[in-house]
C-alpha cells in the first residue's frame, strides 16, 4: 500500500492510477480485452491448486501470503498489477513497452516491519468483487454477506487463470480479509482448494486492531488520497472509511475503545466456527504456527513454506488492558479462542 500512497510511481503510472480510480467502466473494458487475448480455459478448472488466505485483519495473513509467494510456486496479485488488476497480462505488456521499473523494498504503511515492493503480493481480489457486484454489499458503515452466483464464480476463476498465465504458475494464492462475506460460496465452488482462516489471541489481536485504526486515522488526515485508495481496493478495516462485517451483535460503536474490537473479534470468529467441519477450511493459529509448524503439514503445504516464519516478533507487548480481565466480552472471546485452537 505504501507504494501507492507515497506515489513512488513514474509520472505515466500516476496518470493511469488516477484515471482508473475515476473511470470505473474502464476496468470492465480491459477485463474483456484481457479475456479475449489471454484466457486459457485449461487453467480455470484447476481448483486443487488454489489457496485462499483470510482472517480478521492483523491475524498474520499478510505474512503468510508473503511466505507462500516467496517460494516461487504461486501466482498472485501483486502491487505491480495495480491499477489494472483485472487485466494483468495486458498491463504487463504495456509496462514492458514503456519500460516501467519495479520499486525498491520499503516498510508498508502499517509500520509493522513487513517489507513490500512492486513484486510483493497484495490483497487486490476485492477490486474484482466490488466491480462485479456493483458495490451492492457495501453500506456506509457495514459490509453485508453475499452469496455469489455461478456466473460470477466463473468470471473469478477466469481471473485466477489470467494471473496464473501472467506468472507462468500452476498454483494460485490470494489473501482477502473480506472473504468471510462470501465463504459459503467459496466452500461450495472451490471444494478442492484450501481456505486458510487465521486467528490470534484476542487480547493481542484486538490491541493491534485498535493501534492500526489510530495509525490510519492519522495517515488519512495527512494524506486524503489514502482513504480514496483504500475505498477503491476494498480495504475498510481501519481509519475514516472503517466498515464492520454484518456478523453478530453491534452494541459497541466507538472504534477508539478496545471493547469495540473485542466485539468485532467475537462476531467474526464465532461465525467462522460454523465452517470448521468443512474439509477445505483450515483454521490456523497465529501463535501456534511458529512453534508447531509440522502440525500444519496436513494442509499439503511444504515445510519450507513455513520455515522462516517468526510471528512472535510482530506481537505488540505494550498492551493497554483497560480492565479487560473483568469484561464479559473478553471472557467470551477466550472461550471462542480455545474452541478455535481445539478445532
Every domain of the chain and the residues it spans: 2-341
SS3 88: helix
The predicted pLDDT at position 19 comes to 55
Say whether pLDDT at 10 is over 60: no
Q: How far apart (Å, rounded) are the C-alpha atoms in residues 223 and 59?
A: 26
Q: How far apart (Å, rounded) are the C-alpha atoms in residues 261 and 273?
A: 18
Residue with cell 493459529: 285
The predicted pLDDT at position 267 comes to 97
Looking at the chain, the whole-number percentage of residues with pLDDT higher than 70 is 69
Average pLDDT (114-121) is: 58
Say whether pLDDT at 3 is over 50: no
Say whether pLDDT at 260 is over 90: yes
Higher pLDDT residue, 287 or 42?
A: 287
Average pLDDT (269-289) is: 90
Average pLDDT (77-81) is: 82
The predicted pLDDT at position 238 comes to 93
Say whether pLDDT at 12 is over 50: no
3-state helix, strand, coil in the chain (%, to 5): 55, 10, 35
246 touches 143 (CB < 8 A): yes
Average pLDDT (183-191) is: 95
93-107: buried (b, 16+ CB within 10 Å) or exposed (e) per residue?
eebeeeebeebeeee
**Sequence-distant (≥ 6) Cβ neighbours of residue 49 within 8 angstroms:** 170, 171, 172, 193
- pLDDT one-digit tens code per residue, 208-228: 999 999 999 999 999 888 888
Give the predicted TM-score (pTM) of the model: 0.79
Average pLDDT (151-162) is: 92
259 touches 199 (CB < 8 A): no
Say whether pLDDT at 167 is over 90: no
Residue 208: strand pairing partners: none
Q: Which CATH architecture has domain 2-341?
A: 3-Layer(aba) Sandwich (3.40)
The pLDDT mean for the chain works out to 78
DSSP 94-159: HHHHHT--PPPPEE-TT-SS-EE-TTSB---HHHHHHHHTTTTTB-SSEE---PPPHHHHHHHHHH
Say whether pLDDT at 62 is over 90: no
The rounded radius of gyration (Å) of the Cα atoms in the chain is 19
DSSP 159-211: HHHHHHHHHT-SEEEEE-GGGGGGHHHHHHH-TTSEEEEEE--HHHHHHHHHH
Residue 52: strand pairing partners: 174, 195
Amino acid at each position: 500500500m505504501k507504494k501507492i500512497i507515497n506515489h513512488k510511481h513514474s509520472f505515466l503510472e500516476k496518470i493511469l492510477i488516477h484515471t482508473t480510480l475515476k473511470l470505473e467502466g474502464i476496468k470492465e473494458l480491459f477485463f474483456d480485452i484481457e479475456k479475449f487475448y489471454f484466457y486459457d480455459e485449461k487453467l480455470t478448472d484447476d481448483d486443487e491448486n488454489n489457496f485462499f488466505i483470510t482472517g480478521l485483519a492483523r491475524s498474520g495473513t499478510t505474512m503468510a501470503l508473503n511466505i507462500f509467494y516467496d517460494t516461487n510456486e504461486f501466482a498472485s496479485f501483486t502491487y505491480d498489477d495495480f491499477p489494472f488488476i483485472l487485466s494483468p497480462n495486458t498491463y504487463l505488456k504495456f509496462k514492458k513497452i514503456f519500460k516501467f521499473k519495479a520499486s525498491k523494498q520499503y516498510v508498508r504503511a502499517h509500520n509493522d516491519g513487513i517489507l513490500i515492493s512492486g513484486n510483493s503480493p497484495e490483497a487486490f481480489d476485492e477490486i474484482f468483487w466490488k466491480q462485479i457486484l456493483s458495490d451492492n454489499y457495501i453500506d456506509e458503515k457495514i459490509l453485508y454477506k453475499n452469496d455469489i452466483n455461478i456466473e460470477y464464480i466463473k468470471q473469478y476463476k477466469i481471473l485466477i487463470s489470467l494471473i496464473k498465465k501472467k506468472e507462468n504458475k500452476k498454483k494460485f494464492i490470494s489473501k482477502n480479509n473480506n472473504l468471510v462475506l462470501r465463504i459459503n460460496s467459496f466452500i461450495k465452488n472451490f471444494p478442492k482448494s484450501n481456505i486458510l482462516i487465521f486467528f490470534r489471541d484476542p487480547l493481542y489481536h484486538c490491541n493491534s486492531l485498535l493501534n492500526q485504526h489510530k495509525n490510519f486515522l492519522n495517515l488519512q488526515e495527512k494524506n486524503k488520497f489514502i482513504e480514496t485508495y483504500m475505498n477503491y481496493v476494498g480495504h475498510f478495516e481501519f481509519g475514516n472509511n472503517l466498515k464492520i462485517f454484518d456478523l453478530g451483535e453491534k452494541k459497541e460503536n466507538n472504534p477508539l475503545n478496545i471493547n469495540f474490537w473485542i466485539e468485532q473479534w467475537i462476531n467474526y470468529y464465532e461465525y467462522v466456527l460454523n465452517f470448521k467441519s468443512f474439509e477445505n477450511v483450515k483454521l490456523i493459529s497465529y501463535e501456534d504456527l511458529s512453534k508447531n509448524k509440522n502440525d500444519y503439514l496436513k494442509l499439503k503445504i511444504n515445510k519450507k513454506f513455513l520455515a522462516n516464519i517468526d510471528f512472535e516478533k510482530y506481537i505488540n507487548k505494550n498492551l493497554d488492558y483497560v480492565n479487560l480481565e473483568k469484561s464479559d466480552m473478553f471472557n467470551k472471546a477466550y472461550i471462542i479462542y480455545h474452541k478455535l485452537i481445539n478445532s
